[in-house]
Structure 1
Amino acid sequence: MTSGPQRLPGVAPESPAGLVRFNTSKDSEALAALYEVCASAAWGSKLLAQRPYATVEALFDASDAAMAELSAEDLAEAMAGHPPIGRPKPGDPTSSREQSGMAGAPEELKAEMLELNLAYQERFGHVFLLCATGRTGEQMRDAVRERIGNPPGQEREIVRTELGKINRIRLTRLVAEGA
């Protein structure tokens, strides 16, 4: 008779409880959790297909690889899951937390950010996407100012990189102890 937690083959014994939970959850539950991380069905399907993950770093590597392989349509689907900077989805603690640097920003900055968001969206056809965690409102404004002049192809790759950063932060929360 054995005691203690059940171990999955190929999964490190020191894996966080949240990673073990993610690895052993039903496909439908894991896919729903992945959709909360990234709204791309292709990205979520790729990560789901590679379970179980031995380590959090292996999950991150799989996320990065899946992000790199997203088509333009898949990338658009992922971006559609993000609200504009300065306007988090009502009732969504994730977008509110990630954009907290805009929460206490002066009204002038919020108004400028709205104008910049609209100009960016008109130019590129999607929301301005930035890994906003830990950034001030001024840093977010400066980033959109800097990027609005980029060529579309360059901007698409910057967005892909920013989505990858956001995904890592969200995956960390997903597999954290006690998650």
Structure 2
Amino acid sequence: MTNHPHALEALTAADAAELREILLDVCSSPGWADAVVAARPWTDRRALLDANAEAMAGLSAADLHDAMAGHARIGTPRPGDAASEREQAGVLGAEDALLDELRRANAAYEAKFGHVFLICATGRTAATMLAALRERHPNDPATEAGIVREELRKINDIRINHLLDDN
């Protein structure tokens, strides 16, 4: 993993309000963003990723809801949202029948859990996401909340790495 010290230095030195706005593009939970800002200074990339993990572990149920609200439904990336489109590239070109199944499974999941199905979609195909959705649907809410928290951490790690690598 390449370390871009200038990007990390710029983030570390940023004004807290500016940094919070940047981090809200990574994860839409204000509680998460505030926790990561408070973890400064980060000595290296690993320290920033560790701050993500610690912040994610400490999120309340409301904070977790805020974090999930920033994610598009699996199978329907948000047009114009580069992160959503990049992360859900695996649904591009999927057959209509598979996308219909994914929509139905999403609806059943959302009816049961009250939020979108969240999975780190990077590198996954529509078929593998559908299989994961079906595998997780029988979970109880507490088990699923733990899985969602870990999937969000993975997504945030990818987005943080992208942020560091693009600057």
Taking structure 1 as the reference length, what is the TM-score of the superposition? Answer: 0.89
Percent identical among aligned pairs is 47
Structure 1 unaligned regions, length at least 5: 1-13
Q: Deviations over 1:21-75 (max 9, x none)?
A: 1111222221111001101111100111122210110011111011001011110
| Cα distance between partner residues in 1 of 2:90 and 2:22 | 25
Equivalent residue letter for 2:9: V
Q: Quick check: 1:160 aligned with 2:149? A: yes
The structure whose residues are more often helix, as a share, is 2
Structure 2 unaligned regions, length at least 5: none
Q: Quick check: 1:28 aligned with 2:22? A: no
Cα gap change, 1:16 to 1:73, in 2 (>3 Å): same
Structure 1's consecutive aligned runs of 4 or more residues displaced over 3 angstroms after TM superposition are none
Determine if contact 1:129/1:163 at 8 Å carries over to the other structure. yes
Taking structure 2 as the reference length, what is the TM-score of the superposition? Answer: 0.95
| Cα distance between partner residues in 1 of 2:4 and 2:125 | 33
Q: CA deviation at 1:16?
A: 2.1
Determine if contact 1:40/1:74 at 8 Å carries over to the other structure. yes
Q: Quick check: 1:66 aligned with 2:55? A: yes
Q: Tell me the C-alpha RMSD between the 2 structures.
A: 1.1
Q: Deviations over 1:128-175 (max 9, x none)?
A: 000000011110010001001101110000000000000100010111
Select which of 46, 49, 58 maps to 1:57: 46
Query: What is the SS of the residue equivalent to 2:122?
Result: coil
Q: Quick check: 1:138 aligned with 2:124? A: no
Number of residue pairs matched by the alignment: 165
Query: What is the SS of the residue equivalent to 2:73?
Result: coil
Residue of structure 2 in register with 1:5 after alignment = none
